[in-house]
Chain A
């Protein structure tokens, strides 16, 4: 008797596992359509959002083939557009694997927070999604290149963004980072720019440059070189290259320096009641390419090269800071945040004035370049007779 009741209870418990397996809203993978990337535009009338998603269509066969597909739907808000989209796409859209979100210029000019909020609040989207601004007229045309190139363009863009650390062409911004920048006091946000480039016969998106924000509104762009300088200031360079013009006999030819390592320190200092920022940049490079025969490898040549590279770095960084101060007046470098962190007492006094003060702040740049090696060759190439 006792053993039967034991067996019965075991059967009961096992039967329960059938009903308790998994979650309530059980979904099979083939009833979902995976979203790889999102593009957000304003409709032509300006009162609606156009939400474009790039979806991954998986075709099974001997080999599973992934196809890119885009859908564009209008809605009063983003959630509204998503809902409208569900009724078109058939399968339910699943956003958890979306890798990039591209904003059009019109959306960014109107205020990024309006769309960022939904991206961040939505529990299905992940916060490490990459956010970009399209330099083209619309954001959706970036994702639409996918169907022409047989690639999931969002995934490619994501890989490009992850590589930015070593090429320093654009500031990488994951969503949570962007939210930090937008919310932090004494720092303005920047986003990477994506544009379409013709490569051979194909049109591909290319991530170069920076979109500059003031508060949450797009105010302008920085080109590739300026972007690299910005990244230098923000201590986000971990690779990339510096191109140095030759001088003396070697004028007209160039030397490429490969950046091995970089460390930047921002130091706010108080001078006669004014806050000044001192930027110390320590960069280690390798000579990677020498055009011509000038000897940059022996000590005198090397020192000359270091010196001139430092010089041009200093000049170009100072130029960028001045450009941003006068043209955009937006503290994208985070000087204010640094003052707040290091001199909280001073920051309390100047916080409210920072918007006006930023454009007049004095910045001094002190680059220090060290050449570590000259790649595989120990001498410049010789040209005999």
Chain B
């Protein structure tokens, strides 16, 4: 087995870009309106314990990915059945992200281009990246991360004249209920989606602390997410944020400084494509890894192309229109993803701990 390695820094960047993914552009918790930034903070708090579970699982079984862990913890047969869940989830998630990109291009950037086309190209490039391996993804994110941060930073400077702090008031006008609800939305989309990194971080160098990588990624994302959500609200106002499909894009399109710096929303589209690419690639990688482990293939690379095309096709047929997509993303997804994100990991960890205590499992060492 060839062992690919990513450094802890690359791991953090990969994790952050993955979380920025498509959701920042669709707006974090639009339902919370002008309190979305509080919801983002609460979502982060909610994610703290679950991320501890993921990191604990990974550090118990260093160098193993989730499918190995399932096999060890549940045994061969049951482990493979549970593994099916972790093959389906990234496949579906990747398709959703590809679809987000397609809808984005179709509604905002290129309305007359068939949606399949940008989706197909995103599929191709992700297939290529996954064929090249996790190491390449790690290095990619090291290059992309500064680009994303710089674009966010510059656009933040440029929207300063448009900030209207009156948009923040009144704080928590509708009470804490809707905010908690939105916090939970943010928890499931994107924070707890990092459950997929159970399949990726087996490639982390063994001496790095997985807790540190996970939590650094979470905090970097939380900082960016809260900042951008605040920005959206301050510029657009809570009411508008809750009705437009891509608030960040609309916000940056307002920038018009001296009739000279204007129409720079393409920069946001760039970051959208970059982070989507990372997210799709991670999803595709985990799916392929799962399938190869399920059937005992020697190498996951032989099935990347098929799985990738399948993902694009699934993305193409999964929703009728953008209204379906928004409805699914904000109303249903949080509950749909709960088993994959919380219930299964908790069960796995509990059983693993019991069996380790009982001395039935040997951990921490690589073969």
Interface residues of A (CB under 8 A from B): 23-25, 123, 126-128, 176, 179-180, 183-184, 340-342, 344, 347-348
Cα separation A43 to B111 with both chains bound (whole Å): 31
Q: A23-B110, A25-B110, A176-B240 are in contact. Are A127 and B170 (CB under 8 A)?
A: no
| In the complex, B195 has a CB within 8 A of chain A | no
CB neighbours (8 Å) of B173 from chain A are 340, 344, 348
In the complex, the answer to whether A344 meets B170 with C-beta atoms within 8 Å is yes
CB neighbours (8 Å) of A123 from chain B are 107-108, 111
> A338 to chain B: closest CB distance in Å?
9
Q: A25-B110, A344-B170 are in contact. Are A127 and B254 (CB under 8 A)?
A: yes
Cα separation A342 to B166 with both chains bound (whole Å): 10
Contact of B170 among A24, A179, A180, A340 (CB under 8 A): A340
Cα separation A348 to B253 with both chains bound (whole Å): 34
> B119 to chain A: closest CB distance in Å?
13
> A240 to chain B: closest CB distance in Å?
21
| In the complex, B339 has a CB within 8 A of chain A | no
> B357 to chain A: closest CB distance in Å?
52
In the complex, the answer to whether B254 meets A128 with C-beta atoms within 8 Å is yes
CB neighbours (8 Å) of A176 from chain B are 236, 240, 254
CB neighbours (8 Å) of A179 from chain B are 240
> B286 to chain A: closest CB distance in Å?
29
> A143 to chain B: closest CB distance in Å?
22
In the complex, the answer to whether B112 meets A24 with C-beta atoms within 8 Å is yes
Interface string of B38-75 (1 = CB under 8 A from A): 00000000000000000000000000000000000000
In the complex, the answer to whether A128 meets B256 with C-beta atoms within 8 Å is yes
Closest to A348 in B: B173
Closest to A345 in B: B170
Q: Which of B107, B170, B253 has the most CB of A within 10 A?
A: B170
Q: A127-B253, A128-B256 are in contact. Are A180 and B239 (CB under 8 A)?
A: yes
| In the complex, B270 has a CB within 8 A of chain A | no
CB neighbours (8 Å) of B107 from chain A are 123
Closest to B262 in A: A128
Closest to B235 in A: A176
6 more contacts with CB within 8 A, not counting A25-B113, A180-B237, A344-B170, are A24-B113, A127-B253, A176-B236, A184-B237, A340-B169, A340-B170
Contact of A126 among B117, B170, B253 (CB under 8 A): B253
Main secondary structure of the interface of A (DSSP, over half): helix
In the complex, the answer to whether B110 meets A24 with C-beta atoms within 8 Å is yes
Cα separation A104 to B254 with both chains bound (whole Å): 26
In the complex, the answer to whether B114 meets A24 with C-beta atoms within 8 Å is yes
In the complex, the answer to whether A342 meets B112 with C-beta atoms within 8 Å is no
Within 8 A of A (CB), among B237-269: 237, 239-240, 250, 253-254, 256
Interface string of B93-130 (1 = CB under 8 A from A): 00000000000000111111110010000000000000
State the interface size on chain B (CB cutoff 8 A): 21
In the complex, the answer to whether A180 meets B110 with C-beta atoms within 8 Å is no
CB neighbours (8 Å) of A24 from chain B are 110, 112-114, 117
Q: A179-B240, A180-B240 are in contact. Are A342 and B113 (CB under 8 A)?
A: no
> B114 to chain A: closest CB distance in Å?
7
> A254 to chain B: closest CB distance in Å?
36
In the complex, the answer to whether B166 meets A341 with C-beta atoms within 8 Å is yes
Closest to A27 in B: B112
Cα separation A342 to B168 with both chains bound (whole Å): 11
* Complex A-B: 23 CB contacts under 8 Å: A23-B110, A23-B112, A23-B113, A24-B112, A24-B114, A24-B117, A25-B112, A25-B113, A123-B111, A127-B254, A128-B254, A128-B256, A176-B236, A176-B240, A176-B254, A180-B237, A180-B240, A184-B237, A340-B169, A340-B170, A341-B166, A341-B170, A347-B170
CB neighbours (8 Å) of B114 from chain A are 24
CB neighbours (8 Å) of B250 from chain A are 127
Cα separation A344 to B110 with both chains bound (whole Å): 43
CB neighbours (8 Å) of A184 from chain B are 237, 239
Cα separation A30 to B166 with both chains bound (whole Å): 45
Cα separation A344 to B170 with both chains bound (whole Å): 6
Cα separation A347 to B174 with both chains bound (whole Å): 12
CB neighbours (8 Å) of A25 from chain B are 110-113
Cα separation A24 to B250 with both chains bound (whole Å): 23
Closest to A24 in B: B113
Closest to A126 in B: B253
Cα separation A294 to B113 with both chains bound (whole Å): 72
Cα separation A24 to B121 with both chains bound (whole Å): 13
> B242 to chain A: closest CB distance in Å?
10
Q: Which 5 A-B pairs have the closest CB atoms?
A: A24-B113, A341-B169, A344-B170, A25-B112, A23-B110
CB neighbours (8 Å) of B111 from chain A are 25, 123
CB neighbours (8 Å) of A126 from chain B are 253
> A94 to chain B: closest CB distance in Å?
13
> B272 to chain A: closest CB distance in Å?
16
> A82 to chain B: closest CB distance in Å?
15
Cα separation A19 to B20 with both chains bound (whole Å): 31
> B249 to chain A: closest CB distance in Å?
11
Closest to B112 in A: A25
In the complex, the answer to whether B239 meets A183 with C-beta atoms within 8 Å is yes
CB neighbours (8 Å) of A127 from chain B are 250, 253-254
Cα separation A23 to B121 with both chains bound (whole Å): 13
Cα separation A126 to B255 with both chains bound (whole Å): 12
> A186 to chain B: closest CB distance in Å?
11
Cα separation A183 to B243 with both chains bound (whole Å): 11
Q: Which of A176, A179, A183 has the most CB of B within 10 A?
A: A176
Cα separation A341 to B170 with both chains bound (whole Å): 4
CB neighbours (8 Å) of B110 from chain A are 23-25
CB neighbours (8 Å) of B108 from chain A are 123
Closest to B236 in A: A176
CB neighbours (8 Å) of A340 from chain B are 169-170, 173
CB neighbours (8 Å) of A180 from chain B are 237, 239-240
> A59 to chain B: closest CB distance in Å?
24
Cα separation A194 to B237 with both chains bound (whole Å): 28
Cα separation A145 to B192 with both chains bound (whole Å): 60
Cα separation A117 to B169 with both chains bound (whole Å): 26
Closest to A22 in B: B110
> B106 to chain A: closest CB distance in Å?
10
Closest to B108 in A: A123
